[in-house]
């Protein structure tokens, strides 16, 4: 057992680090070595997939026909819009219920809206369809996507700030790009 005197001799940062480590032990989190190996494999897999995608994009650019008649065109677009409707409805429900998952849902739905705008505009045929697609993208889909991205970003930053405060971090980075993953020490992030 650690005495109050021994705890009193620790700096504020040392006490916060000890508190975090005890909380991690109580929560049964995996060891950092296990996490490092999984992270390394994950990074390698994504790097490999990225490298493979470059020649695939070049091949498609060189070989795809300029025009193509698509099978199941109606199913493709109606199905996509049903998925988009589900994302919007789920995001609304999660926001109404004040659930943390709204961050993921808002980000995913914003991405779907962005994809919808892209494909509406790039697959439009004729002047009237193109004008309608561009107007829909600029007036509805992209502004709603921007709102959802903004909400997701704001809520994620708020969550990170609250987690930092709960863990005793006083000088943690404020930007999400500089923000280390929770539970990953500086040594294991290299």
pLDDT (0 to 100) of residue 99: 95
pLDDT (0 to 100) of residue 189: 46
pLDDT (0 to 100) of residue 30: 57
Q: What is the mean pLDDT of the chain?
A: 86
pLDDT tens column, 42-55 = 889 999 999 999 99
24 Cβ partners below 8 Å, 6+ apart? 183
Give the separation between CA 46 and CA 152, rounded to whole angstroms: 24
Chain-centroid distance of CA 48 in Å reads 20
pLDDT tens column, 43-87 = 899 999 999 999 999 999 999 888 888 899 999 999 999 999 999
pLDDT (0 to 100) of residue 117: 97
**pTM here?**
0.74
Which residues of the chain are under the pLDDT cut of 50?
188-190
Give the separation between CA 13 and CA 2, rounded to whole angstroms: 17
């Amino acid at each position: 057992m650690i005495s109050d005197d021994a705890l009193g001799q620790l700096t504020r940062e040392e006490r916060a680090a000890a508190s975090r480590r005890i909380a991690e032990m109580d929560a049964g989190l995996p060891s950092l070595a296990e996490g490092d190996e999984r992270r390394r494999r994950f990074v390698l897999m994504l790097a490999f997939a990225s490298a493979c995608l470059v020649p695939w994009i070049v091949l498609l650019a060189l070989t795809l026909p300029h025009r193509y008649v698509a099978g199941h065109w109606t199913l493709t677009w109606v199905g996509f819009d049903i998925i988009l409707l589900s994302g919007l409805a789920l995001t609304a429900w999660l926001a109404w219920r004040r659930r943390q998952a709204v961050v993921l849902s808002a980000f995913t739905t914003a991405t779907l809206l962005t994809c919808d705008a892209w494909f509406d505009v790039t697959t439009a045929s004729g002047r009237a369809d193109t004008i309608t697609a561009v107007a829909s993208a600029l007036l509805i889909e992209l502004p709603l996507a921007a709102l959802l991205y903004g909400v997701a970003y704001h809520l994620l930053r708020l969550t990170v700030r609250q987690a930092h405060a709960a863990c005793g971090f006083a000088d943690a980075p404020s930007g999400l790009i500089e923000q280390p993953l929770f539970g990953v020490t500086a040594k294991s992030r290299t």
